Structure 1
Amino acid sequence: MAPSSPAQRPLSWTVVGSGAIGSLAACRLKQAGYAVSLHLKQPRSHTIDFAGSQLHFPAATPPFTAVLIPVKSYAVIDAVQSLLPHLTSNAQLVLSHNGMGTLEHILPLLAPSQGLWFLTTTHGALKQQHSLLHTGQGQSVLSALNVAAKAYTPAVLPAMETALGPVTLVDDITPFLWQKLAINAAINPLTAIYNCRNGALLQAQFEPLLTAAITEVQQVAAACGVVMDDSLQQKVLQVIAATAENFSSMQQDIANKRRTEIEAINGYVVQQAARFGIAVPHNNNMLAQVLRLSSACS
């Protein structure tokens, strides 16, 4: 009998960090019977109370074959570089974070036989000490970013379907990243600046601010070759309504005196706008305001 292809074997997953979305993915994988470990800054085992169960996760030990990296955008490169010496030759890495601008830096770090993926998700989760709540049922979009990743689709796709499904597999993640960027660029900074839940943005006073942010992102995306349809504003309002009781990650970062992802969200819009000579005053203003709030918190 011919040996099974490596792409057909169940992968043992390592989840980097202890953030809410990563913890949600780890818990759902664990409940489905996957072998899951956590890669934390201080190596240790970890227990999470989730959906009425206490789930125990061992500290991750190399070598690593399948790694989910759901860390903040500004921490992605450091996280991958720390993992590189411990990856197998055919390791599969799945990135998942808000904002844009990291992929072009990560791909050159990997060997040709190592796969890179990106997963963008609308799931919501809230972590409080050792307890985890799944606060928003969402969906995810997954894409293989190189040839080495595509070969492992039969192993990676079902795992991500379990972790953060339902999952749509696409050939080109770029339009989906721009859509997620537009949603985050409109919602996250406003909730941070006004210190409010997402649902507060449905008030009439925020309509022109949301419209301005979305319109600017559409203009910059078009210059970058991605045309976003006119339903984008409605999609943003739908996300606000669906997550009305949630606090955005950026609001939580400011409230807890943590660094935000503003540079990879509105900052990325501003950076790309400068390339094409496009004025984006609203995104510039929100970027400046959130950076001031972050500076005040530090």
Structure 2
Amino acid sequence: MAQNPAPQPALSWSIVGQGAIGLLAACRMQQAGFDVSLWLRTPRLLTIKFAHRQLQFQPASAPISAVLIPVKSYAVTEAVQTLLPAMASDAQLVLSHNGMGTIEQVKPMLAPGHGLWFLTTTHGALKQPDTVQHTGTGSSTLAALNNAAKVKQQQVLQAMDIALGPVTLTDNIQPALWQKLAINAVINPLTALYNCRNGELAAQKYHQHIEALVTEVCKVAAACGYPMSAHSTLQTVLRVISSTAQNFSSMQQDLAHGRRTEIDAITGYVVQQAAHHNISVPHNQALLEQILLRQQQRY
């Protein structure tokens, strides 16, 4: 009589950086009993206040068996390059960021035994000095991107469900990424351009512009093999604007504080794929140029 396989032991996890979502994941995992460390540019002990408790995180050290990489899209490849010498031969890497384009960059960098994943999330978090707050309860979608990831599927799913769950496991992350890209391509650059909270985009004066941006993104997604209804996508974008009305988008915050934005991986990716498929996207093109100009002036 066949027996059920024994549960696989939990992995030790490292979280890259000290961004809000990464620290939220780290705190939730440590509270659930996971062994969690932080991979920082300058290794040090970090104390974070979360849910009225003080949590301490040791600096990560080799060999790293599993790592969540919730950094800005433009910092992903550098983070992976830095991690590679410290990673175990069967290490699992989970990418999580806004925008698209990094999967194709990271895959060739990895050894055959390295598992690669992507997690997209709707959770919200706010980081203040030595404190992280869970500002928006959400959910996540997770996908294995190569065969080496599927070997450790049970352990990675278990950990990410604690970190940023509930998690839905999918065989193909691309539809979820295009859906989130459509949302980000509206809310992030428009709030950055007009220096406003998300909710201000619900004003009638922005509706035509939002509809045009969504229509263009949906045309590009369809050309890339991931058709989306422009009407339902627009409704989703408007719901997110309403449900996050009091929030400032990450791009608005980055531009307001003179930091580099993720515009290249969001609107830039739409424009790049549009050019590849010979599709005109004048509204996204104009918005890309406006944000790049503002970024150049401030960054």
Deviations 1:39-84 (A, max 9, x none): 1111111111111111110111111000000000000001001111
Cross-structure match for 1:69: 69
The one-letter amino acid paired with 2:12 is: S
Amino acid at match of 2:70: P
Q: Give the Cα separation in 1 of the matches to 2:185 and 2:246.
A: 19
1:146-175 deviations in Å (ceiling 9; x for gaps): 111011111000100000001100000011
Q: 1:197 Cα deviation (Å)?
A: 0.6
Matched with 1:231 is 232
Q: Which residue of 2 aligns with 1:198?
A: 198
Letter in 2 for 1:22: G
* Residues 265 and 6 (structure 1), Cα distance of their counterparts in 2 relative to 1, 3 Å cut: farther
- Paired residue for 1:295? 296
Corresponding residue number in structure 1 for 2:278 = 277
Distance 1:43 1:100 in 2: 29
Distance 1:102 1:6 in 2: 35
Which residue number in structure 2 is paired with residue 258 of structure 1? Answer: 259
Aligned to 2:138: 138
Does the 8 Å contact 1:114/1:148 carry over to 2? yes
Post-superposition CA distance 1:102-128 (Å, at most 9, x none): 101111111111100000001111101
Task: Find the counterpart in structure 1 of residue 106 from structure 2.
Answer: 106
Corresponding position of 1:50? 50
Structure 1 runs (4+) greater than 4 angstroms displaced: none
Which residue in 2 is equivalent to 1:89?
89
Percentage of identical aligned residues: 62
Aligned residue type for 2:275: A
Distance in 2 (alpha carbons) for counterparts of 1:222 and 1:246: 30
1:197–1:248 CA contact under 8 A, matched in 2: yes
**Distance in 1 (alpha carbons) for counterparts of 2:81 and 2:117:** 16
Q: Distance in 1 between matches of 2:233 and 2:57?
A: 39
Aligned length: 295
Residue pair 1:46, 1:56 contacting (<8 A) in 2 also: yes
Residue 268 (structure 1) aligned with residue 269 (structure 2):
yes
In the alignment, residue 291 of structure 2 is paired with which amino acid?
V
- Paired AA for residue 227 in structure 1: P
> In the alignment, which residue of structure 2 is the partner of 1:242?
243
Partner residue, 2:159: 159
RMSD: 1.3
The offset of 1:6, in angstroms, is 10
Which moves more between the two structures, 263-272 or 108-117?
108-117
Per the normalisation by structure 2, the TM-score is: 0.96
Say whether 1:33 aligns with 2:27.
no
- Report the 3-state secondary structure (helix = DSSP H, G, I; strand = E; otherwise coil) of the residue aligned with 1:135: strand
Q: How does 1:7-22 map to 2 (within 5 A)?
A: 8-22=8-22
1:254 CA drift (Å): 0.6
Structure 2 gaps, min length 5 = none
- Structure 1: distance between partners of 2:199 and 2:50: 25
Classify 1:102/1:7 alpha carbon distance in 2 versus 1 (closer, same or farther; 3 Å): farther
The residue matched to 1:8 in structure 2 has which SS? coil
Gaps of 5+ in 1: none
Q: Which residue type is aligned with residue 273 of structure 1?
A: A
Equivalent positions of 1:171-210 (< 5 A) are 171-210=171-210
TM-score by length of 1: 0.97
List per-residue Cα deviations over 1:242-272 (Å, max 9, x = no partner).
1111100000101111100000000000000
Q: Tell whether the 8 Å contact from 1:65 to 1:88 is kept in structure 2 after alignment.
A: yes
Amino acid at match of 1:183: I
